[in-house]
Amino acid sequence: MNPGRRALRAARHAPSLLSHAAAQAWRDRVLGLSAEAAFWQLLSLPSLFLALVATLGYVSRWFGAGTVGRTERQLESTLSRAFSQEVVDQVISPMLHEVLFRGRADIISLGFVLAIWAGSSATATFVNTITIAYGMRELRGPVRSRLLALWLFLGSVLLGVVVLPLLVLGPDLLIRSFPDGVRPTASTIVTALYYPVVVVLLLTGLTTLYHLAPPRRLPWNRGLPGAVVAMIVFLAGAAGLRAYIRFILSQNHAYVTLAAPIAALLFFFALALGVLYGAEVNAAIEKLAPTPLRPPRVLHPRNWRRLDADAPKAEGSQSDSTVS
């Protein structure tokens, strides 16, 4: 089919496709599973944060003598926006000083173990829900699902190392990090490429997740529509969350100390909801236009040629034996 006609056909079926995906998501308990994944993601953050900070205490000598002090002050300043000053002074500051200046190997090992356990549990929820959406739940056992979730979590951490600093810094702070001599050129490049690069990286990660999660691997590009839908749902949820938190904080100051954990949990819920609903959209597309199955390759082409060459000999030997 012509790509233009295929796109036109997909546009005509988009409303019914999205409504069917929403109905199937309700039957698959996507809201509850999104809450489960959000809880595991939030649970993995403190241990991962402590492990990374403790690691910085050991490698700080590579970055200069004053790096640890500047890092401690920056972390305290950032965390003071999320927690009350009393909590920062009595709990967070002593803990950061202990971890940064003395080095704690036990915190590093235990923190990474807890982060991997909690983070892979969140990824396992994604993998199982995507598998259920495609109707392939019985094709993979729990052990294989957990191992796949572990590898996907480690891959997502590597992707997050690249994407999260870009999202946190933003284009303005990223431009300021360049030396003065190359800052005008860097400003032009960053302004033009910042958002396209972030979008491409996120879409690549989501599409790869949709490609690897099902037991029967579909073509990589089949996961792209769900990745686009997931990003739209996540961005809409994040925008609504920011507006809601801003309204709550402007009305009642009693919620200031609770704003950070509530916002983080709702943020991860919006992320999980977008990912799982995108999987339902991909599954609906797969039902509407199934991927053609490829015939299995039994032998290598060289073996085929060898068998073709040996076939006359075999027939000749059979005829000789028959004559005799």
pLDDT at residue number 228: 92
* Cα 281 from Cα 206, distance rounded (Å): 13
* Structural contact between residues 39 and 265, judged by C-beta atoms closer than 8 angstroms: yes
Q: How far is CA 237 from CA 133, 195, 201, 273, in A?
A: 22, 19, 20, 9
Of 123, 120, 282, 276, which is closest to residue 216 (Cα–Cα)? 282
Model pLDDT for residues 277-286, shown as the tens digit of each residue: 999 998 888 8
153 pLDDT more than 70: yes
pLDDT computed for residue 251 by the predictor: 65
pLDDT at 307 over 50: no
pLDDT value at residue 315: 47
Residue with the bigger pLDDT between 295 and 272: it is 272
The pLDDT tens digits for 157-172 are: 777 666 666 665 667 7
Please tell me the distance from the alpha carbon of residue 88 to that of residue 79, in angstroms, as a whole number. Answer: 7
Given this model, what pLDDT does residue 319 score? 46
Residue in the block written with tokens 């996507």: 30
Give me the pLDDT at residue 157, please: 76
What are the DSSP calls for 153-219, one per residue? HHHHHHHHHHHHHHHHHHHHHHHHTS-TTTHHHHHHHHHHHHHHHHHHHHHHHHHHHHHHSSSSPPP
Give me the chain's average pLDDT, please.
Answer: 74
Q: At what angle do helices 67-79 and 93-102 cross, to 10 degrees?
A: 160
Question: What is the residue extent of each domain of the chain?
Answer: 17-290
Q: What is the pLDDT of residue 92?
A: 66
pLDDT tens, 8-57? 565 677 777 788 888 888 888 888 888 988 888 888 877 777 776 666 66
pLDDT value at position 172?
A: 74
Predicted confidence (pLDDT) per residue in 98-150, tens digit: 666 665 566 667 767 887 888 888 888 889 888 888 888 888 888 888 888 88
* Residue in 150, 135, 309, 134 with CA at minimum distance from that of residue 210: 134
